[in-house]
Amino acid sequence: MKYCYITLLSLLAVTACAQVNPRLAKTIDSLYQEDQAVQLKLKAMSERNAPKDSLKLQDSLKKQTYVRGIQAAKAIYNQYGYPTAQMVGADAAHHFFVLIQHADSDPKFQVTMLPVLDEQSKKGNITRKDYAYLYDRVQRNTGGKQLYGTQPSYDKTGNLFDANNKIIFPADLADPQHVDDRRKEVGLEPLEKYYEAILQMLGRPRKIS
């Protein structure tokens, strides 16, 4: 019984260390859920060929939701600093990153946050993957060169592989031959697997001849 009691205390201590601000975590998770819900609804409407007016309205709602996410993310960062896994838990820390990743209407904010993610990821406070995704997003939004290929470029048919079933490397990808080496360094799967997963999610899986 004593051992069980000590174990329970240890678990509670670990939980406390992993999420010292549950209220902030809940706020971030709520913002993330709104972000995802509006995006998924637009995807579902597109898949069932909803009227163009409806799609336009939903896209506008998505953009408005993203803007609210940007404003909330700025307010959170200004008050608490970057919400790390130690502060809000790993899930909420990643969810906060997603709000930044979707801040395309405010590229200056993304640029400002990039070195913050770089520093925090090197300290192990957030994943290095999140930094890699934001790095590529910033490069695409500012005319730079991607390093990890996380922002794909589709052909005219909406594919990520050409007629010969070869990867269509984005034009803004630096040194494509070594992209998988760089992806491995930050914990990302090979680009081919990543592109296959994207197509699978979009409902048009890769056709392997």
Q: Which of 36, 37, 107, 34 is nearest to 72 (CA)?
A: 34
Q: Do 87 and 17 touch, CB atoms closer than 8 A?
A: no
Pairwise CA distance, residues 55 & 78, whole Å: 35
Pairwise CA distance, residues 209 & 199, whole Å: 16
pTM of the model: 0.86
**If pLDDT is split at 50, 70 and 90, which confidence band does 19 have?**
low
Which residue is it, tokens 């990643």?
94
pLDDT of residue 209: 65
What confidence tens digit (pLDDT) does each residue in 148-183 have? Answer: 999 999 999 889 999 899 999 999 999 999 999 999
Could you count the other beta carbons within 10 Å of the beta carbon of residue 143?
Answer: 7
From start to end of 24-137, where are the E strands? none
* pLDDT above 50: residue 146: yes
